[in-house]
Amino acid sequence: MFIKTTAPQSVSSQSGLGRGLFDVASLNAMHAKMLKLLAAKGGRIDAIFYCPHTAEDDCHCRKPRPGLFEQIGLRFGVPLRGVPAVGDSLRDLQAGAAAGCEPHLVLTGKSEPYRGMAPPEGLPPGTQVHRDLSAFADFLLADSAEAAPQQASA
């Protein structure tokens, strides 16, 4: 899932690490490939945060707990209240909302089956639903255009 502070951050659960399915070097290689593919399209992610634990570890950073979000707030020195956070699963949105973020659900990935039907139950109050990440990006751009001060036309 993604959170937009000044530039997007990414948070994910990587229990494959805790379960020994892959190592940190492999995860770093996957992230490097993702950033490279994104850069080729003009995109940028400022930081990637992940939880390496398994459910049995009972850690604070595994979604739906807000630990990863709190790490972002600490690293970038920004309050998270009202910061848009987008994800494709209930756990994503629960974690973001627990950190004070504004929850946005995209109907892709885990939530694609909900297209054309009522969204999953238990979403945090105020969750906004978007068809996909592109629609969410359009929403953010329209929102920031609205918030930008008007230029004087003289």
The residues of the shown chain that bind Zn ion, judged by CB under 5 A, are 51, 53, 59, 61-62
Three-state DSSP at 127 gives coil
Q: Tell me whether residue 4 or residue 53 sits nearer to Zn ion (CB atom).
A: 53
What are the DSSP E strand ranges found in the chain? 2-4, 8-13, 47-51, 84-87, 102-106, 128-130
Q: Tell me whether residue 51 or residue 95 sits nearer to Zn ion (CB atom).
A: 51
Least separation in angstroms between residue 115's CB and Zn ion is: 31
Ramachandran region, residue 54 (left: φ > 0; alpha: ψ -120 to 50; beta: rest): beta
Least separation in angstroms between residue 72's CB and Zn ion is: 14
Q: Tell me whether residue 62 or residue 130 sits nearer to Zn ion (CB atom).
A: 62
Three-state DSSP at 34 gives helix
Extract the tokens encoding 1. Answer: 């899932």
Least separation in angstroms between residue 152's CB and Zn ion is: 50
In angstroms, the CA 144 to CA 139 distance is 9
Q: Tell me whether residue 54 or residue 108 sits nearer to Zn ion (CB atom).
A: 54
Least separation in angstroms between residue 52's CB and Zn ion is: 6
Strand-pairing partners, residue 22, are none
